[in-house]
Amino acid sequence: MRAGEVSSSIKKTLKEIGIDSQIIRRMAIACFEAEINVVCYAESGTFNLTITPDTLKVVVEDVGQGIADIELAMKEGYSTATDAIREMGFGAGMGLPNIKKNVDRVAVESRVGKGTRLEMVIEMQDLSKKASD
């Protein structure tokens, strides 16, 4: 499995532009968690990065099984992971909660059997929120 290449290239792009390193780290972690989710639970997915002077936005859209209960999926420890996912070191039910922790705004829409749309936004003017919060 080669999950992580997309997040790595997003991180590289943000570095090249000269975005604040703490913001890059937060978005890189969020993207990687999202990428793992796409690889584990969907058939295909796209990442769309939008940068404005004020905000950094990544929209992840996948075609896949979708999330039946988004509220539950946002809770730490809730997981529908298979043994194969767990053997890779994931599937602890920390993905979406960790995304929420690292970005300023997160929105999830999903249709079971169709796919999921995840929007992650970091406000670039607000440097107060850190990954360590």
Residue ranges binding another protein (CB under 8 A)? 1-4, 7-8, 11, 25, 28-29, 31-33, 36, 88-95, 97-98, 101, 132
CB of 46 to another protein, least distance (A): 19
The number of CA neighbours under 13 Å toward the Cβ of 102 is 24
What's the closest the beta carbon of residue 29 comes to another protein, in angstroms? Answer: 5
Q: Least distance in Å: CB of 86 to another protein?
A: 9
Find the distance separating the first CA and the last CA of the chain, reported in whole Å.
30
For another protein, the closer CB: 53 or 77: 77
Alpha helices (runs of H) in the chain, residue ranges in sequence order: 5-17, 21-41, 70-73, 83-87, 95-102
